[in-house]
Amino acid sequence: MIRSVVAGVDDSAEGFDAADWAAREALRRGLPLRLVHARKPGPPRGTPETGPPEPTAAERHARMLLHHVLDRLDERHPQLTITAEQVAGDPAAVLLAQAAEADLLVIGSQGRSGLGGFVSGAVAPVVAARSRRPVVLVRAGRTPEADHLPDARGRPSVHTPFRDVAVAVDIGEPSADDVLDFAFRAAELRHAPLRALHVWHAPVTHVLPDAEQRGRMRAAAQRELTGRLDPWRRKYPTVVVREAVPEGRPAHVLVRAAGGAGLLVIGTRRRRRPAGTHTGPVAHALVHHVRCPVALVPHD
């Protein structure tokens, strides 16, 4: 089966901007785009004797919405293969099922959810926590120009180089390789630098470490980060890597460090139980405070 980029579509601003971002990403990856609108199922209708039922208001709304988004994306990206479908069911369950065989799933990060099959907002953390495929969360207002550096006069442009890709690296996590592979590939596709961030902090003890001790800790963190990145530098030789080992608490430091990035990539541990509907405190803070799209790459 040919993989695709899947975009969850609703009638919020986040929904369309996420679909447009997904279209640009699909072009970069050379993949088709699949638009999915999830709507809550209604009661069974029609019988073999009466024939197929007339579409409900929700079905007609979903059809019009998908046609509208499809037409706009076709106009903007005529070279892209795009399909669209509406699926009855719980929005989070529908998106998880649709994303199972996708390259990645793209949804709005803070739109409406629930009534009418909206797929953003409260649905986003559930999907991000339980997906087995990478999920990218996009805020409303993310224009194509926002992915690029401003021009020489400081004006938005799509003709300037891409902003860098930032990735949070957990040195002690073996599954971080999935995160690094995604981040290096994203940087390669954009011909953009990769900013690799490893946040460290001194252990909590009754005696605070002095400047010399902190210097040794920082140097050790730098060596470990460089060693972790070396195999990926060899796999992606065209990607320019910039390393940073800021000190502090991950959520606070990463929000500041990701400023100006075009994409932030972080790892999230898969939640195997139905109750697992949250991505964790660091991912939660980043999704809510970082302005650029956030890619959450699952690992065990």
Q: What are phi and psi of 41, to 5 degrees?
A: -70, 145
The residue with tokens 């995160």 is 179
pLDDT tens-digit series, residues 42-73: 665 555 555 566 678 878 888 899 999 999 99
Q: What band does 192 get if pLDDT is binned at 50, 70 and 90?
A: very high
pLDDT tens-digit series, residues 8-37: 998 877 888 999 999 999 999 999 999 999
**Which pLDDT belongs to residue 116?**
38
> Both tokens of residue 213?
């001790």
Which residues have a Cβ under 8 Å from the Cβ of 12 and sit 6 or more positions away?
108, 111, 112, 118, 120, 140
**Which pLDDT belongs to residue 214?**
87
**Which pLDDT belongs to residue 50?**
57
Portion of the chain with pLDDT greater than 70, in percent: 85
**Which pLDDT belongs to residue 113?**
42
* CA pseudo-torsion sign 158, 163, 165, 168: negative
pLDDT tens-digit series, residues 84-95: 999 988 888 999
Report the distance separating Cα 138 and Cα 97, nearest Å.
20
**Which pLDDT belongs to residue 246?**
92
- Rounded to 5°, the CA angle 143-27-6 comes to 80
Q: What are phi and psi of 161, to 5 degrees?
A: -60, 155
Residue 128 reports pLDDT greater than 70: yes
Q: What band does 271 get if pLDDT is binned at 50, 70 and 90?
A: low
From edge to edge, which strands make up the β-sheet containing 194-197? 82-88, 33-39, 5-8, 104-108, 135-138, 294-299, 263-269, 165-168, 194-197, 241-244
Residue 198 reports pLDDT greater than 90: yes
